[in-house]
Amino acid sequence: MGDIKLDHKYEAAIFAGGCFWCMVSPFDVFDGVIEVKSGYTGGHIENPTYKDVKTQTSGHYEVIKIIYDPEVISYDKLLQAYWRQVDPTDDEGQFQDRGPSYRTAIFYTTEEQRQTAELSRKTMDESGRFPDPIVTPILPAVVFYDAEEYHQDFYKKSAPEYKADRKISGRDEFIKKYWGDEYYDIYE
């Protein structure tokens, strides 16, 4: 991650892809990504807690908010990485995590992001990579709430628990099945 330039305009990308613990590390490695925060968006409760969201009744998605430098990394590249992290054909959750808070979604912050996301989803859907249609919605960004501190950078802070959870989640097997070695192309 680069140094923050105070006179520079950064942008935000917000993605829901199931458990936010597994969504941070794939984006943390890119040059131009300043910060990746775990949080909640889209629900009807102000200042939700993890406990609120876990009930699956608050309407929130577990999401990540990526602050990035568009002069170093494009929104399109972030979208390409996003599609490699999720099962975009599952509208009931992701892998072992089931329920509304674990669904996929792309939350756009600008009209340009909306258009780029729509084209990216269309391209992915027409690629034939997945046997079922893509159901990931593209929605306008609403209030983002930071998750509790212990969720931030969970893959670093609680590596053994993160690795154990990731191992049983089914995410890596799905990625290998549908992306194989192509998964790494985006990181080169």
| Residues classed as catalytic | 19
Tally of CB atoms within 10 A around 185: 10
Q: What SS3 state is found at 94? A: strand
DSSP string, 60-81: PEEEEEEEE-TTTS-HHHHHHH
CA dist., res. 88 & res. 77, Å (int):
17
**Phi, psi values for residue 90, rounded to 5°:** -105, 115
Closest CA to 19 of 122, 164, 119: 164
Q: Per the structure block, which two tokens stand in for 71?
A: 């002069």
